[in-house]
Structures are given as C-alpha cells and as structure tokens.
Amino acid sequence: MVPLKRRKVVSSFADTSGDEVPAKFPLVVLFLLERKMGASRRVFLCQLARKKGFQVEDTFSESVTHVISENNSGEEVRTWLDSHDRGQTPVHLLDISWFTESMKAGRPVQVLDRHKLQEQLVDETEVEVFSVPSYACQRRTTLDNHNNVLAHALSLLAENAELEDEDGRGVAFRRAAAVLKALPKPVTSMMQLRGLPCLGDHCLRVIKDILETGTSSEVEATKQSERYKALKVLTGIFGVGAKTAARWIRDGIHTLQQLRDSGHTLNRAQQAGLEHYEDLHQQVTKAEADTIGEIVERAVVSVLPGAQVVLTGGFRRGKLTGHDVDFLITHPVEGREEGLMPKVVSWLESQGFLLYQKTTRNSYLESNDGPARPASNIDRFERCLSIFKLIKEDKHETKQLGKLSENGLETPEDTCSSLTHVQTDPNPATPSCAKGQIHSGEDTGHRLWRAVRVDLVVSPISQFAFALLGWTGSKLFERELRRWAGYEKAMSLSSHALYDNNQSRYLRATSEEEIFAHLGLEYIPPSERNA
C-alpha cells in the first residue's frame, strides 16, 4: 500500500518551485506592473523576488509600498493607478533598475532619485478636470465635438474588434469614444480624464500616446493590417457579415476581384451588394435622401392616403451625409398600416426604383418571450431592405437615362444591357435588371443613376414613438437607453414598447418626450444623440 503524500502548504511568499522562503522584509511590499513588461517576464521576476525573500503582491492593493515598472513614465504609471482608484495611495514609483539592484544585493537598496519615475509637475489648480454622466443617454453629444482625433482612434479600434466578432471589446471602445465626444473642451492632459467613466487602461494608453506623439502605434498598425483591410472590404458588401468575411479570408479571398473570380455561391443580397459595391460606398447626401423621401412618400400616399413617412437615422440627428437612408411609415388610425408594405414595394418596383429588395413581415406579436422583451435588440417590424435606383442630377447632360414623371421613373429597356449575369435566382423578387448579377467593372461615373441603400419600416401608430426613438440612433445611444432602463429603472425598452417589470405593465407613450419621462431622463433632442 502506497502512503498518501502529505500536501505541502505554500505561503503567498513562497518560491513557486516549492522551496519555502519566508518574507525577510515585511515593510517592503512589491507590485510589478505588467504594462510593457509582458506577462511571462513579470511572472519570472515575481518568482525571483519571492525566492530572495521579498513580499510580492499579484494584484495591486493598499499594502503595496513599491510599484516596479519597465519602460513606463511616471505619468503613465500614475494614470494606471488612477484608473484603479489608487491615484492617491502613497507608494514609490520605481524603475526596473531599483528592482535589479535589490535582487543583486539580496535586500531592498536605498531609493535614489535615479530609481524614481519622473512625473511631470502640473499645477492641478490650473487643469480643468472633466466630469460627465456614466450613461451616454444622459449626455448631450452634438456632431461638433472637440476631440475628433481621439474619438476617431478609439472608434477605429472598436470597428476592428467588431470585424473580428468581438462585440464586447467593440462596445468598450465605443463607450470610451462617446465620453470623449461629450467633453466640452479638447483634452490636453491626462489629468483631465481622472474619474471619467468608461475609460479603461487600454483606452487611456491610446489617448496618452496620441497626446504625447500625435498618433497611436496600435491604431496605425491596425490601419496597415492586411486582415483589417480585407475584413473592411468584404464586410462592406451588402449582405456580408464578419463571420462570412472571416471564412472567405481563410479561403484566401481578400479583395472584391478575388471574390468575383472565386466561384463562391452568393445569396441575392450579396450578389446585389457586390454588383453595386462602388455606388453603395459613396456617401449619400441629405439632398439625395430628401429626393428619395419624396418618391417614397408618393408611393405610400398613393396606396394609403393619410399615411405618414418620417426620415430617421443619422439624417434625423442632423448629419449631412450617411451610408444609407431609413424611413419609418405609419398611419394615424391603428391597423390601417396592415398590408401597406407589399403595396408600396409593388409600386416602387413597377416604376423601376428598386434594384433589390427583401421584405420581412411583422413578427412582433408572435414572440414567445413577450413583445416587450425581445430575444435580441433587432426589432420585429415589417420592413423592406432595398437598393434604390436614384437618378443623378447632371447639369451638363441634356440626355437622361430616365425621367421622373407623375407616375414614377421611366427607364429605357436597355438600362441593364451592360451588366454581366453570373447567377440567377429562380424566384426573383426584384426587377429584371437586378436578378443575380455581379458588377463586372462597369464605369459608374458615366451612368445617370446610382444605387443607394434604403430601408423602409412600417409601425402601428401605438408603437410609433418607440420605433421613432429606436430608429433614430445613434446605435450606442440606443444601447445605453436600454441599459439604463434595465439596470436603473427595472424596465424593458425596445423599439416596440416600454415594459415596467416591477408593475408588470406596459407604459404608453405618444412621443419620445414621454418615453424619456417614463425613464426618468431629461429629454435629449435627436441632434444631440450623436454618441
């Protein structure tokens, strides 16, 4: 019979090799900062210090007396301490040289000036420290913000995280960028950011690099990354998400031409997105959005007199350009909107305005978990995702591809003659000029029309205020509204309704102002929701 081996109890100061080493210097407690040092090197140095009899903490605490860092400035380490609410803790901020000399001597050597990290002396009374609320839905953020460079850098890192299907990291960067957008003045010192919400160590490091050098090495490396470039191009195709793009990259596809040559089977949305890629990547102007709005309103009113059409999205928030155009449609009489979308789509198709469309029905009342608590943030309204054919205004050309008449767009039969067919949907729901084609490099500069992404959404009047709020954005502002409702008010907010979980009832609202009032928030107009 083999006797059981007695388990050896190892103190927090023991060498990881198993040799018991008592703490020889109880008044000295070390913490090694991993930033720029690296995890593996930090582990090695911690083991070395414990073997020499030093007390080393794995996490920063009030008992720490000496903070050791490598290749960091005093301000960087102080910023790190501030982010962990330890900025006022009296500790020695020391360079790795003090640690090396102490290990060689086998005891803590005297702290000299050359060991200390140099901190820039700033008169805190002359520095304006910013303060903003924690939730983006509590802050007013206009398009004219004072920290575009910093916010853009964090937004790019957020985009990269989202392209890599890392939504959590993406949201963290978006929240940090939103804080910077809301500040009343430009950031000139890291001290101004002390105590601000949503600014973690990673974001603070990026901000500091830009303030000190004018750029961030991480941001620049991301911009130059071949994978980032490929993901950006491929997900820029209408109908292509991050997972599909990542799969194509694994297959060696990095460009549009490689995709065209690959023989991959594309669904209708992806075919249309690739065909009209160049057009869809041009910014849509407010004037173009208004022109499309006039056409959509004509279509809606022609099939349902008295119906209302509202331009939403970024244009409602005051933007002058955008990537697509969103319209919310309703009727003052509840129920009259039922069956409206197919008629509107049919009218637009008959007039030659739609190059692609996919319509989904309203599934709001079919949810098993209750209409106020959807399984995802995507609403369940009846909607039409489309690619719209918009006639360009050309003052130098007298010849027009088609003309807008009282009945709509009159288009010559040979409009699509220059497009190359590679795949055809056997049951198309689009005009013949959009059936399964992939753009073959046609010069779009000489066409008198362009493709524009347009979304149409139909809402009952009882849900219109919630739909208008949800479809106005920004995306982060809406996310923060839902988070505020859940965590602060025990409510469930969606683009359909507001549900009070404590009282088990829906709260009615006929305007956005009423929704904000239910949530206990100051009303913020659309032009100040650009978080």
Query: Annotated catalytic sites, by residue?
Result: 324, 326, 455
Q: Is 379 annotated as a binding residue?
A: no
How far is residue 267's CA from residue 254's CA, in Å, rounded to a whole number? 19
Question: Is-contact 46 16, C-beta < 8 A?
Answer: no
**437 burial level (CB within 10 Å; 0-12, 13-18, 19+):** buried
Q: Which two tokens stand for residue 432?
A: 């013949």
DSSP letters, 375-390, are SSSS---EEEEEEEEE
Q: Is 394 annotated as a binding residue?
A: no
- In a 13 Å sphere around the CA of 207, the CA atoms on its Cβ side amount to 29
- Beta-bridge partner residues of 18: none
In three-state secondary structure terms, 349 is helix
Q: Which two tokens stand for residue 72?
A: 């960091």
Amino acid letter, 137? C
In three-state secondary structure terms, 39 is helix
Q: Is 326 annotated as a binding residue?
A: yes
How far is residue 512's CA from residue 522's CA, in Å, rounded to a whole number? 11
- Count the helices and strands in the chain (H runs, E runs): 18, 16
Question: Is-contact 337 458, C-beta < 8 A?
Answer: yes
Binding-site sequence positions for Mg(2+): 324, 326, 455
Binding-site sequence positions: 324, 326, 455
